[in-house]
């Protein structure tokens, strides 16, 4: 907390929020495209979304570690659960992108 009592938002959170919103918007755009480039766009969107969620998981890993060291056990538990969910979503996005990439290849 700062001297005025307000919480300071770290640059990492701002960067991850912008990346998450941008990648979700890109995936939503790729879903609406109806031509031959739809599968490659969805694949690229899935990769970017997976990377963003894995970055979020790494960020929460560091935050969990710091909260645990500071003795904020409830916060550490919440961050650990949230980071685990982010890691699962990130791995799922990357797996889905790999499957779409393999399906888009000619036989």
Which pLDDT score is estimated for 107? 74
* Residue extents of the structural domains in the chain: 11-104
DSSP state of 3: T
Q: Does the pLDDT value for residue 56 go beyond 90?
A: yes
pTM above 0.85, yes or no: no
Nearby residues of 59 by Cβ (< 8 Å), 6 or more positions away? 12, 13, 16, 83
Q: Does the pLDDT value for residue 22 go beyond 80?
A: yes
Mean pLDDT across the chain, nearest whole number? Answer: 89
Q: Does the pLDDT value for residue 10 go beyond 90?
A: no
For residue 106, report the phi and psi dihedrals to the nearest 5 degrees: -70, 150
Which pLDDT score is estimated for 54? 95
Q: What is the DSSP string of 37-67?
A: THHHHHHHHHHHHHHHHHHHHHHHHHHHHHH
Query: In this prediction, what percent of the chain has a pLDDT beyond 90?
Result: 59
């Amino acid at each position: 907390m700062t001297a005025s009592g307000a919480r300071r938002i770290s640059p990492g959170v701002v960067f991850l929020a912008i990346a998450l919103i941008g990648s979700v918007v890109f995936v939503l755009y790729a879903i609406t495209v109806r031509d031959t480039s739809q599968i490659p766009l969805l694949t690229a969107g899935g990769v970017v979304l997976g990377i963003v969620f894995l970055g979020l998981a790494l960020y929460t890993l560091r935050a969990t570690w710091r909260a645990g060291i500071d003795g904020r056990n409830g916060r550490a538990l919440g961050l650990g659960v949230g980071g685990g969910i982010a890691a699962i979503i990130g791995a799922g996005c990357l797996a889905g992108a790999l499957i779409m990439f393999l399906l888009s290849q000619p036989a």
